[in-house]
Amino acid sequence: MTLKIIGFEVSSNTLSVIACLNELGLPYQIENPASWHALKEEDFLANKHPFGRIPVLYDGDYKITETRAICRYLVSKYQGKHNDTILIPHDINEAGLIDQLISYEVSYYEPLLKTIVLQEVFKLHPENHEIIKHTCEEIDKVLKVYDKLLEGKEYLNGEFSLADLLHCPYTQYIYSSTKHNDLWDKRPNVKKWWDRISNRDAWKKAWKISRDAWAAGDK
């Protein structure tokens, strides 16, 4: 059965789910809402997501929302069925460490990058140079910690995992559409890590889908 994603390909959250599906070797189709404004309409709120967010995943009659919940669901149900990729280890202790790393991503990493991307890439807020400067300073502090976490490792937990995957969308937007990639490049362990995760076939395929949608005007 083909899985269906409701979302826009340029959305960072939708991109995370697309990359997860690619990593697991799962077929899927993407259905775009009528517009971004449609996410706040009564029908979408009642039947798709109560807070008007994307993506929404349908697996047959089963519906699930929220990016990380969707990815965990996909891993729980489909990991190992179509390929050998392991995004969450079966060992409960190792799985707990992946959740810990995902918590780092959602708590300390993504919010800072999102501030930059919404201002400089999506232009959703007027550019505030003081906010951008302060945010970059905070990103630098976070990346200093990440550089330490990555010492002697190719990936955050040693092997590639869902935690690494979830860092891709906003980091890719920073690299592709801003001038702040030097914050990553000056940290040798972080730079090598980003080069590894951004060059995985599953991510490159997801990013191409996003770039094609952007070029077609789906912003």
Flag the least confident range among 70-79, 100-109, 115-124, 194-203: 115-124
Looking at domain 3-86+203-215, its CATH architecture is: 3-Layer(aba) Sandwich (3.40)
Q: Which class for 64: exposed (0-12), middle (13-18), buried (19 or more C-beta within 10 A)?
A: middle
Q: How many CA atoms lie within 13 A of 29 on its CB side?
A: 7
Distance between CA atoms of 11 and 36, rounded to whole angstroms? 11
Q: What is the mean pLDDT of residues 8-23?
A: 97
Q: What is the pLDDT of residue 217?
A: 76
CATH architecture of 92-200: Up-down Bundle (1.20)
Q: What is the pLDDT of residues 60-110, one digit of tens each?
A: 999 999 999 999 999 999 999 999 999 999 999 999 999 999 999 999 999
State mean pLDDT over 191-201.
Answer: 98
Q: How many CB atoms lie within 10 A of CB 79?
A: 20
pLDDT of residue 135: 97
**Domain spans of the chain?**
3-86+203-215, 92-200
Q: How far apart are CA 79 and CA 216, in angstroms?
A: 33
Using a pLDDT cut of 70, give the percent of the chain over it: 99
- Cα separation, 166 vs 67, in Å, equals 9
Task: Name the residue with tokens 């009564």.
Answer: 42
